[in-house]
A = this chain, B = another copy of it.
Amino acid sequence: MKTQEHGRRRFLKEGATLAGMALGVGAVRSASGQTPQSEISAEEILAYGKRSRFVGSARVPAPGLPRVWLNPLQDSAGIITPSGLFFVNTHFDIPDIDPRRHRLLIHGMVERPLFFSVAELKRLPFVSRIHFVDCVTNGSDRRDVSKTVQHSHGRFGCSEWTGVPLSLLLKETGLQQGARWVVAESADSGQWQRCIPLEKALDDCMVAYGQNGEPLRPEQGFPLRFLVPGWEGNINLKWLKRIKVVDVPYLEMPPKQPVSGHWEFEQQVASVITVPSGGQRLAGRGFFEITGLAWSGAGAVRRVEISTDGGRNWKDAQLQNPVLPKAATRFLFPWNWGGEAALLQSRATDDAGNVQPTLAALSQTRGVSLDHWRSHNLPTHTGAVQSWEVTRDGNVEKIYA
């Protein structure tokens, strides 16, 4: 605490920058006299809690995409996304699976094909780790319909996941000579399939059954999810029912087809300022803590820099502990707003040395103007710096810079 605060000036200088905070001692009575408006019956909420009726933060559908529900990052705190607000990107309905009837099959180029019930999986050694899941389209939606950080980066969440290491399950089944890839399949009506190299499967993938200390929520894959840390969100297959070990990358499900061409799995280093962010309004001049999240599929975040003047000057933000690999990292940056127009940007660097490009730099590479992005989505896998303009009247708006 002392370390963090060390060297910072007081936030409330003479005259109290935050209006209405200074008060005489005579007000004690009024403080003690505060009484709640009503009380909540214990039985009503104590078996499994509910939020306060005064808390309304919620997922919202992505514009034009009714099956994509976005994480309200503007309300986020810390690095954990509560399960009830974790983003959802589905292509079919959410299955209502009875875990007593669900089975995971591991087969294909294995020595012993095996079925696992959920209860059997829960008896095995497990790991719990904090990891993000980030949709490949996150941050690429630059159209003008997308004005808030919930719209631009709400296909992101970070939780503590618990499950069985896939490496352990594949040790049980054994692997045949020539096994090189793993195909995972979902139990929803889409029978979604995703294919990853065996090397990743044996590295840090898990068959997850827990999220944030309780069973996965239905919309997050209950009862089993294929967790592939740091890789594209869509590979983190939900409602996992089958893992097939194969020799070449292919997908069986409709249509049955081998997969060829370009493979890109890992999520780039990225960051976004969540407060202040698009659609918010600064309530008067004075101190603000600029904060946001950074992450990288390649490892841990090493550094986040902040610019308040559109990239002319960059200063290091403070990273909050713990800074974990392939997990959200919370950054903070003290800012005293004097009422001037400002352009807020964050730029993350990961421990592999990857740095986020600005949208301007990216545009130059692609040979298009910044205005181009008003009517086009950014390509995926760019992790471009997000820019928030603060107008003189305190409004925060998304711009292309």
Which residues of A does B touch, CB under 8 Å? 1-2, 4-5, 8, 10-12, 16, 18, 20-25, 27-28, 31-32, 34-42, 45-55, 57-61, 66-67, 69, 75-86, 88, 90, 93-103, 105, 107, 112-117, 119-120, 123-130, 160-162, 165, 167-168, 171-172, 185, 187-189, 191, 202-204, 209-210, 212-220, 222-223, 239, 241-242, 283, 287-289, 291, 320-322, 324, 330, 332, 334
Contact = CB atoms under 8 A, between A and B. Distances in A.
Contact of A212 (B46, B82, B93): B82
A80 B212 contact: yes
A34 to B, nearest CB: 6
Contacts of A76: 213
A185 B209 CA distance: 40
24 contacts: A4-B125, A5-B167, A18-B123, A20-B117, A24-B113, A25-B107, A34-B103, A34-B187, A37-B97, A41-B93, A42-B69, A46-B219, A48-B84, A51-B218, A52-B222, A77-B209, A77-B214, A78-B212, A84-B214, A123-B283, A124-B287, A126-B289, A130-B322, A322-B322
A174 B109 CA distance: 69
Contacts of A188: 36
B105 A28 contact: yes
A172 B15 CA distance: 12
With a 10 A CB-CB cut-off, give which of A4, A34, A88 has the most chain B CB atoms. A34
Contact of A54 (B21, B98, B214): B98
Contact of A95 (B36, B84, B210, B213): B36
B78 A22 contact: no
Contact of A53 (B94, B96, B322): B96
A79 B128 contact: yes
A85 B54 contact: no
A241 B127 contact: no
Contacts of A85: 48-49, 213-214
A115 B213 contact: no
Contacts of A8: 125
A377 to B, nearest CB: 23
B40 A66 contact: no
A116 B80 contact: no
A219 B188 CA distance: 36
Contact of A289 (B96, B124, B322): B124
